[in-house]
Amino acid sequence: MNGSRVPLPANAERPFQVFVNGVPKQEGVDFEGRGADLVFAGELVPPRRMTAKSYARLMFWGRYKTEHSVDLVFHRGGDRAIANGLAILPPAEAG
């Protein structure tokens, strides 16, 4: 898998439940864990920052969002934790 990377939160422990735009993803099929990152099979589009211009456009015409949001349910120190809207990084350079 050589798609987009998502850094894991500090001290995140397995098992992971990964959701992209609220849809559950399966490890080994949609993503895999590599070190401190989750690496996805495809490229994800990070959310764009909203500006005053984009808010005005949204009010009058609406906007179809092609961006992705990655959420993670994991364990930390034996407790269950949730991280929402994780950073999406571009695929790693092949080297």
Q: What is the domain partition of the chain in residue ranges?
A: 5-83
Residue 95, pLDDT > 50, answer no
| CA 32, 34, 36, 40 torsion-angle sign | negative
Tell me how crowded residue 5 is: count the other CB atoms within 10 A of its CB.
Answer: 21
| CA 70, 40, 16, 80 torsion-angle sign | negative
pTM, entire model: 0.80
Under 8 Å between Cβ of 72 and 18: yes
Residue 81, pLDDT > 80, answer yes
Residue 10, pLDDT > 70, answer yes
Kindly indicate the confidence band of residue 49, based on its pLDDT and cuts at 50, 70 and 90: confident
Kindly indicate the confidence band of residue 57, based on its pLDDT and cuts at 50, 70 and 90: low
